Structure 1
C-alpha cells in the first residue's frame, strides 16, 4: 500500500471513529440531563472537562514552543472554538428543545451540504460529484433514521437554531480543512475547547450546576451508573477523543468527504441508544442506517478516484488512543 493509500485509510478510520465517539454522547448525556442538569450545563461540563484534560496534555507532550507556534492562527482557532465546538452544540440543543428531535438532527446535518455550497460558490473550488452524491444519499438515509415524518411542526426560532447548528458544523469542517498541516490536532482541540468553554459560561450558568448528580447513581435505561462515570465518558470519549479524531480525519481527507462520512454519527447514536437505553429500532430506521452508510461509502470514493496523493500530517499520540 502506497503512502497516499495509507493516508486515506487512516483518515477514513479517524473520521468513522470520530462519528462513533460523538454518537456515543447521546445516551449518557441524556441520562445526566434526566438526573438534573440542563442541556447547556451538560454541554458546558463536557467541554470544560475536555479543556482541563487537553491543556495540560498539550503542555506535557508539545511544550511551550507549541503554544507559541499557534499565535499566527489564533483568530481562526478562536472562530473554530466559538462555532465548531460551542455554537454547534448550543444551537442544536435550542433546536431540539423547540422542534421534534428528528427535525433538529436533520437540520444540523445539512452542514455538509453547506460545506459543498461554500466550496463551490465562495472558494470556486471543484466539488467532486461522488462527494455530492454521497451527501445526497446520506441525507435521505438520515431522514429515514430519524423518521422526520413523525413530527413536522416547525417553530421559527427552532428552525433558525437548527440552521445555525448546521452553519457551525460546516465551519467546523472548513476551518479544520484550511488549517490542515499548519496546526497540530492536539493543540487545535485544546484551544477550541478553552474558547468554547469560555463562550458557553454565561449562558450555561455552571455555578448553578447540581454537582451532587456526579456522586449519585444515575439511571441509564434499565441500569444505573455513577454520575461521575457518565461525565467522564462524555468528556474523554465523546469530546476529547471525538474532536481529536475528527481533526485528524479531516486533515487526511477533505472537508467535503469528511462531512459526508460524519452522517455515520446519527447511525451510531441510534444504535448506542438502542443498546444502552433500550430504545427500539423500527425497520425503516435500520434500512435508513444502511442508506447512510452507503452514502458515506460513495463519498469516500471521491478521495480514491480524484484526490492527488498527499503526505500524512504528523499524528499526535493522544489521537491514537477519541456530535
Structure 2
C-alpha cells in the first residue's frame, strides 16, 4: 500500500516512464505486489498461535524500521529539510493504512474491508484528474474498473454483505491512506541536490509509523513467548522467528522499497492498478501454503485483476511540450509527469 499537489520536492523520476524504465517499473510493481501479498500467509500462523493482529503489525513495522535504521542515520538531514514529507509518509503510508484496515476488519468482514481499501486506485484517478488537474488515460481507467470487479470476486464480497457505517468509514480511511502512499511516492520536481533520497524517506516513514503504532498496539502487553517456539502452518511446524523475519524483510522492507521505486518509474495510477495483484497473490499463496482453496468465482476474479493490471500498464502518461526559453537563459527540460500544454 499519501497527499499534496504535485509541486514540492519529493521523489524524482529517474527517467521518462517509457521503454526500459517503464519495463523496470512494471517489474518493481509486480515484485512489490508479490512481497506485500505474502504478508498474510506469514502473519496468519502467528495470529493463530496467540499473537494479537495489531501486535503482528507492530512487529512488522518496528522490525522493518530497525532494519532501515542505518539508512535513516545516513540520510538524517531529511529530518531538517523535509519534515512534512517524513511525517506524512509515516502517518499515511505506514501507520494509517495498517490501523484503519485492522479497525475496519474488527467491525466488517475481511472481504468487504479489502474491497473498500482497494478502491484506493480509483480514488487516486480522481485525485490526479480533479485535484492535480492532470490527464488520466483511458487504459488506466479501464484497468481500475476491471481490477475492482475482479477483486470483488476474489474476496467474494457477496458472502459478507452487511452495513456497519463506522467499519466502512475505517475501510474508506485505509483507501485514502493508500492514495496518500502513491501520491507521496510520486511527488517530485527536478533532480538536484535538494531532492530527498527515497530510501531515506522510506526509512523515516517506517520509524514514524512504528512510533505511532506503538501507542496504538501497546506491545508491552504482547505474549513474546510465541516468537520463541514453532507454530503450525497447514500442519507443518515452522519457527515463529522465521515467519517474523519473512514478514519484516520481504513483506515490509522489500515491499515498500520496490513499491516506491515502481511509482517513480510509472505514473501513480498505473502502479496503483498493478498493486491490485497483491490480493491475488495473497489468495494464491494461502491456497498453496495454508490449504485455503480458491472457488471458481475467485479464479475468475483473479483473471480479471490480472487483465486490469495488464491494461493499465499499457497506458503512457502524457508528456509536456518543451517550454520555450529566452535566448541565453537556462533551458528547463519538461517533466514527463507534467500535463500537456
Determine helix, strand or coil for the equivalent of 2:77: helix
Distance of 2:33 and 2:256 partners within structure 1: 9
Shift of 1:306: 4.5
1:68 to 67, 74, 77: 77
Q: Which runs of 5+ in 1 are unaligned?
A: 312-323
Contact 1:138–1:295 (8 Å) recurs in 2: yes
| 8 Å contact from structure 1 (residues 186, 244) kept in 2 | yes
Structure 2 CA distance for partners of 1:276 and 1:162, relative to 1, 3 Å: same
Structure 2 partner of 1:137: 146
Indicate whether 1:248 and 2:261 are aligned.
yes
Q: 1:21 aligns with which of 35, 47, 57?
A: 35
User: Given that residues 80 and 192 in structure 1 are in contact (C-alpha distance below 8 angstroms), is that contact kept between their aligned partners in structure 2?
Assistant: yes
Q: Deviations over 1:84-115 (max 9, x none)?
A: 11110111111112111110100100011111
TM-score, normalization: structure 1? 0.90
Aligned residues: 304
Which residue is equivalent to 1:283? 296
- Matched residue of 2:315: which SS? helix
C-alpha distance after superposition, 1:239-259 (max 9, x if no partner) = 000000000000110111111
Residue aligning to 1:55: 69
Q: Paired residue for 2:58?
A: 44
Q: CA deviation at 1:58?
A: 4.8
Question: 2 CA distance for matches of 1:10 and 1:36?
Answer: 40
Q: Does 1:32 align with 2:41?
A: no
Say if 1:70 and 1:183, in contact at 8 Å, map to a contact too.
Answer: no
Q: Does residue 10 of the first structure (1) align with residue 19 of the second (2)?
A: no
Deviating 4+ runs (over 4 angstroms) = 305-311
CA contact (8 A) 2:37 2:279 kept: yes
Query: Aligned ranges for residues 183-202 of structure 1 at < 5 Å?
Result: 183-202=196-215
Which of 69-78 and 167-176 deviates more? Answer: 69-78
Which is helix-richer, 1 or 2?
A: 1
